[in-house]
Structure 1
C-alpha cells in the first residue's frame, strides 16, 4: 500500500494569519497520526510564512511516523535545519526565493554534481533523500546518477489534465515510474493530488511508495473533518 504523508503547511498558514498558536501545528500532526497517516511532511521556507523553523524541532520531538522535510537545499539555513533534526526523509526541491509554491522539478542533468554532493551530505547522517523531479524520463534516469534513494514526481500537470483526459494525464508519469524501477529508485509523488484524482494515479503508477498531500487534504477536512478526510485518502491508496 502506498503511504500517505500529510503536509501540514496549511495548518501553519492559518495559525500565522491570526497570531498565537491556534490551530496548533503539533497537535494537528499528532491527530493525523492517530487517524492513520503514515507520515508528516513540512516544507519550511526562509520567510517562515507558514512552517516556522521551531515547528520542525517541536514535530521531530513528538511525532512517531515518518517525518519528511521538503525544501531548497541551496539555502544553508535549510541544510542546517535538516541536519539538526535528522528526519526520516529530506526532499530536495528547487524553490526560488519568495516562491509561493513549488512549480518545477530539478534539472538533474545540469545540476547532477551539486545534487550528488547534497545527497551524500544527508545520507551520511542516515537521512533518506528524495529529489523532486518533473515526469521526464531523462530527469529520472539522471537522478539515479546522484545516488539519491528516491525521486518525487511533481504531479501538478497530471492534476490539471485529469479532468479532461485521464489517460493522457497519466502517461508521462507511468513512463517516468517505469524508468525509476529500471534504475533502482524509490518513487514518491506530490502536488495537487486530491480526493478526485488520487485513486486513479495510485492504480496506474507502478512502484509508488508514498504520496505527500497537503493543500487539498486540509481543504477537504473543512467539509468532512480531519479524521474522515484521512480515512478517504487512505481508502484511495488501498486500491
Structure 2
C-alpha cells in the first residue's frame, strides 16, 4: 500500500471518507484531510504533516480532540456528539411503534431513480420520523463524497425502496422496511443472496458509503453477514 492509499484509508477509518482508496490525491481527499485537521484542532493545510500523520496513526476512538481557544462552546458540542445506538431488530415494535406509522418524507439531496423504472426520478423518500434526520445527514454526506458519475457507477442513484409493510422473506416477523427504517439501493446488482465480490456494493469504492451510514449507527447486512448488500437499516441484529 502506498502512502497515499494509507492516508486515504486512515481518513476513511476516522469517518472522513474520500471515495475510492486509489492513491489519487484529488479534491475529495484534500477536503477530507482539511476537515480532519479542523476537527482535531490541527493546523488546517490540506497537507499531511507530521502532526496530522501522528493523529491518523492512532485508533479512531483514541484520537485526542483539543479545543481551539476561541469558540469553545460550539466546538464542545461538535466533539461530544456520538454515534446513535439504534434498537435491536427484536425491539423495533417497542421503540418505533406500530409498523407503517409515524412516517415522514425527506428530500433526497441528489438525483435518484426507481431501480425498476430508471426513467422515473425519485425526489423524496419516506422514512420513520425517528430516523429521517439521520438518513438525510448521511445522504448529504454521500452527495459530498461522490460525484454524480461515481454515484451512478456504484448504483447509489438507484432507489430500491424504503417504507414497505411486509413480512421478511421466508419468515413471520416484519421486515425492517415495515417501520420505514431501512433503505435499499440497486437491488438488481446486490441481491439478497449475492455475496462479495459479485455484489456491486461489496467493492472497495463503496467503503466510504458504508462508513457514512455506520457513523450514524446504521447497519449494513452486507458488511455484517455478506448478504443483502442493497440494504442498510437503523436497527442492530
Query: What TM bracket, shorter-length normalisation?
Result: under 0.3
Larger Rg, first or second structure (1 or 2): 2
TM-score, with normalisation over the residues of structure 2? Answer: 0.22
More helix as a share of residues:
1
